[in-house]
């Protein structure tokens, strides 16, 4: 027994973690303090194995698959609900997926049973999260990929709307509900695209574009390629399917980290019409003043973008 007096520290716990500790403390009939101490002490007591005289920690001794899946299932439901007006409950998910009762789904959430891989992939599809993240813990919840505009709307528009062509009928019959162009208010003006589908599926498209003058020759070509895409979309009959936003670097990075639902941010952000104006090189005083207040190199960026319009 140590003769040293006990030390005191203050911990700031995430709400979800605090709730988990409280639940475990109730199950073991211990106080919160005793539960935390027990878990800290146990963290130093993992069994070790010896290979050729070197002591190493066996990583599989640290795994608790049911608990890991429980945490990801809870996060997946919270991820979806963060973008919903009315929360989706686990019982509704169970019913929509064809189960007779919600009990089995509740057992999965509570870490009492493990769903099959097939069941997990069905749940991932329903919630709209990355399948490999939910099943195996790879990557992040938000589905994401890469988009590059080559400057030819005949190719770029079908690629954006997941169609084979860009006729009005093809775009109308596509699964796309909205395309959101999101520019960071950083000096570099990084660009993300959020592709929102009619079935509720949302995907973040990364780009290498900087919508600013903080670019080299390659950046100029990319900027002007997007300018041609925006003009073609503006001149089309599906202009109403396009939105754009200007958001601060902090919120932009939250979307880019792929851990939160992107619509939970942009739905709280005022729509901007910069995608309609940036390639026009407008001389309208009111429009210029509106953007220059937030976007220091608006004039020079607009001038550079407009040079790509033929």
Boundary residue ending a domain (136, 155, 174): 136
> Do 167 and 79 share a structural domain?
no
> Do 158 and 113 share a structural domain?
no
Q: Judge whether 2 lies within some domain.
A: no
Q: Judge whether 297 lies within some domain.
A: yes
> Do 154 and 132 share a structural domain?
no
User: Which secondary structure element, helix H or strand E, spans residue 178, and what is its range?
Assistant: strand 176-184
> Do 235 and 194 share a structural domain?
yes
> Do 242 and 108 share a structural domain?
no
Q: Judge whether 131 lies within some domain.
A: yes
- The domain that holds 81 is classified in CATH as 1.10.260.40
Q: Judge whether 5 lies within some domain.
A: no
> Do 89 and 126 share a structural domain?
yes
C-alpha span between 234 and 261 (Å, rounded): 27
C-alpha span between 118 and 48 (Å, rounded): 34
C-alpha span between 67 and 122 (Å, rounded): 19
Q: Judge whether 6 lies within some domain.
A: no
Boundary residue ending a domain (108, 136, 164): 136
C-alpha span between 278 and 273 (Å, rounded): 9
> Do 224 and 103 share a structural domain?
no
pLDDT in single tens digits along all 310 residues of the chain: 444 456 667 777 777 777 778 777 776 667 777 778 777 766 655 444 444 555 554 555 456 889 999 999 999 999 999 999 889 999 999 999 999 999 999 999 999 999 999 999 999 999 999 999 999 999 999 999 999 999 999 999 999 999 999 898 999 999 999 999 999 999 999 999 999 999 989 999 999 999 999 888 889 999 999 999 999 999 999 999 999 999 999 999 999 999 999 999 999 999 999 999 999 987 788 888 889 989 999 999 999 999 999 7
Looking at the 3D structure of the chain, how many domains does it have? Answer: 2
> Do 270 and 239 share a structural domain?
yes
Q: Judge whether 60 lies within some domain.
A: no
In the 8-state DSSP scheme, what is residue 269? Answer: S
> Do 181 and 111 share a structural domain?
no
Q: Judge whether 154 lies within some domain.
A: yes
> Do 288 and 168 share a structural domain?
yes
Boundary residue ending a domain (87, 107, 136): 136
Q: Which residues pair with 57 in a beta bridge?
A: 48
In this structure, what token pair is assigned to residue 267? 């739905």
> Do 81 and 177 share a structural domain?
no
- What's the pTM? 0.78
Q: Residues 124, 72: contact at Cβ < 8 Å?
A: no
Closest CA to 83 of 262, 271, 251: 262
Q: Where are the beta strands (DSSP E) in the chain?
A: 48-51, 54-57, 144-146, 176-184, 190-197, 202-210, 242-247
> Do 234 and 122 share a structural domain?
no
Structural domain of 258: 144-306
Q: Judge whether 278 lies within some domain.
A: yes
Contacts of 131 (CB under 8 A, 6+ apart): 120, 121, 124, 125
């Amino acid at each position: 027994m140590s003769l040293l007096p006990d030390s005191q520290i203050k911990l700031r716990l995430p709400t979800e973690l605090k709730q988990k500790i409280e639940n475990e403390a109730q199950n073991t009939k211990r106080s919160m303090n005793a539960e935390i101490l027990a878990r800290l002490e146990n963290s130093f007591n993992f069994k070790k194995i010896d290979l050729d005289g070197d002591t190493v920690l066996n990583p599989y001794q640290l795994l608790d698959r049911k608990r890991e899946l429980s945490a990801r299932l809870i996060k997946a439901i919270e991820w979806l609900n963060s973008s919903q007006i009315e929360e989706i409950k686990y019982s509704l998910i169970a019913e929509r997926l064809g189960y007779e009762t919600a009990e089995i789904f509740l057992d999965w959430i509570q870490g009492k049973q493990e769903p099959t891989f097939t069941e997990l992939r069905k749940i991932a599809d329903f919630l709209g999260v990355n399948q490999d993240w939910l099943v195996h813990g790879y990557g992040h919840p938000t589905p994401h990929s890469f988009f590059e505009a080559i400057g030819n709307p005949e190719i770029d528009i079908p690629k954006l709307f997941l169609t084979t062509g860009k006729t009005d009928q093809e775009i109308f019959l596509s699964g796309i509900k909205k395309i959101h162009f999101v520019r960071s208010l950083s000096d570099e003006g990084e660009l993300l695209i959020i592709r929102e589908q009619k079935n509720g599926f949302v995907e973040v498209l990364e780009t290498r574009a900087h919508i600013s003058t903080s670019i080299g020759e390659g950046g100029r070509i990319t900027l002007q390629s997007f300018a041609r895409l925006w003009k073609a979309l503006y001149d089309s009959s599906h202009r109403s399917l396009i939105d754009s936003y200007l958001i601060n670097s902090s919120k932009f990075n939250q979307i880019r980290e792929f851990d939160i639902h992107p619509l939970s941010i942009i739905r709280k952000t005022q729509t901007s019409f910069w995608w309609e104006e940036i390639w026009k090189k407008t001389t309208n005083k009111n429009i210029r003043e509106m953007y220059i207040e937030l976007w220091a190199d608006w004039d020079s960026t607009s001038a550079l973008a407009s040079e790509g319009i033929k």
